[in-house]
Amino acid sequence: MNYTIGKKYLITTDDWFLAPDGIMYHGVFGTIQGFHNSFETLGIKVNSRSVDWYMSIGDDTTMSIAGCRIHYAIRTDNCNFQSGNCSEGSNDCQIFNADKPIS
């Protein structure tokens, strides 16, 4: 599968991450903004054994995910944050909406 810049994806990560809202998540939903190397993303050059690509995702709260941390990528225009015990921003949901502003 090729990623398409400007399209929305649901990305699951290999590990938990702390989002700006102070909640731990295991995935992110948002619009892909681009792909960058470590120097463009972190301002440093890495050795040849390290990952050297990052995905920028999110319209409002753009975050970068190291390519080696992406577990699954699902191309979708919608992500249901309201199904069952899953509500947007809850730990039960475990999906961070990077396209939505943090209040």
For 41-86, write each residue's pLDDT tens digit: 888 888 877 778 989 999 876 889 988 889 999 999 988 765 544 5
Q: Is the pLDDT of residue 88 over 70?
A: no
> Is pLDDT larger for residue 58 or for residue 92?
58
pTM summary value: 0.77
> Mean of the pLDDT values across residues 8-26?
87
Handedness of CA 19, 25, 27, 30 (dihedral sign): negative
* pLDDT for position 25: 85
Number of H helices, E strands in the chain: 1, 6
